[in-house]
Amino acid sequence: MGKLFLSLVVVLSLAGTGVAGANKDNASFQQMASQINADAWVVMDNRTGRIIAERNKDMRYYPASITKIGTAIMALERGRLDDVVTISKAAAATEGSSLELTSGDKLTLRDLLYGIILHSGNDGAAAIAEHISGDENQFAKEMTLFLRTIGARNTNFTNASGLPDDQHYTTASDMAVITRYAMSNPVFRDIAAAKSYDWKDELWSKRLEDHERPEAKILGLSWDGTAQIVNHNRLLTLYEGAIGVKNGFTDEARYTLVGAAQRNGTELIAVALKSENAVSAYQDMAKLLDYGFTVTATETVANEQPVEVVESQAELPRYAGKAEEPAQPVIDPESASSGGNPGILYLLTGILGFIAVSYLVYALRKPKRNVR
């Protein structure tokens, strides 16, 4: 049985290999990881989809407003930018961050997309959902299925904005996949990178101005009194080469942040979930991106197929999922930190199977004694 034991040791040693496993033995990785406040995070090469570094990438957490990345790309594939959307009473009453919309207001889908990505308007997200699918609940079901078709298989959304719900969750890995897909759309890229967007004068309010004026100052934008919404993703100013993407906050999710940046021909996506405060979220993002650029500058890029940036919205693949398909099993995101990675279960099952097969081979080869 000595060979069996040796084989088992080999299986166990190989089980921990891979990008993340190798990184965990790397001193620079350990130094970077020890400084990250977020509970879960991922750094991905946008060209190849390769995960450069991660922690708790498959654990489920509340996403807060980074949900709107999914809402936006879903809307871009199902609607048209010049569609006119009439705001319903239900959408206008959506709680949380608001574009101060009122029932009967009319905006284009383009306006609302800028409104939800730059200003993070929950009312705008609800209005988009109603326009695309009839009601927000139906939209959330369709969005979950749509995101599953592009590879986000551990995500379940119950609304379009990111308001907390026990059944509304995602993972750092899934958010990187969702963002990578979204960033292949040139319209989404333009929206995510915009620092401001002209708003309709008739929909402007003192409350909106009081909210946006200090954000403009943080981004270094001059305020000339015109109606304009400002991007609340401060990474655009804080990090050299930043090109988006979206920030979020709720009491349950704490601070969430998805960032994308370009340097020296490399484009990275990073996700940080459950940072304790806004300052630490942006600090986390800078450290993750710095580490990713250092790694990609010194190692060979993995041989994987890139995501092509399409030339027009018409060339994007169209979602064809069925809304009546069942959603993923519900999980309480609060148990994420103690939850298990399904890979561990697969590993244990494989080890047990290996032992059983090896023992069977050993038994069959063992000389038989004559028994009378």
Active site residues: 65, 68, 120
Beta bridge partners of 230: 196
**Is it true that the peptide bond before 177 is cis, omega within 30 degrees of 0?**
no
Share of the chain residues as helix, strand and coil, in percent rounded to the nearest 5: 45, 15, 40
Distance CA 162, CA 195 (A): 22
Q: Strand 242-250's sheet: what is its strand order?
A: 51-55, 40-45, 266-275, 254-263, 242-250
Q: Which of 297, 187, 286 is nearest to 236 (CA)?
A: 286
Q: How far apart are the first and last CA of the chain?
A: 28
Q: Minimal CA–CA distance to 199: which of 186, 212, 189, 188?
A: 212
Dmax over CA atoms of the chain, in Å, equals 104
> Would you call 218 exposed, middle or buried from its count of C-beta atoms within 10 A (0-12, 13-18, 19+)?
middle
Distance (Å) of CA 67 to CA 182, 267, 304: 12, 22, 27
Rg for the chain (alpha carbons), in Å? 24
Tokens 């069942």 belong to residue: 326
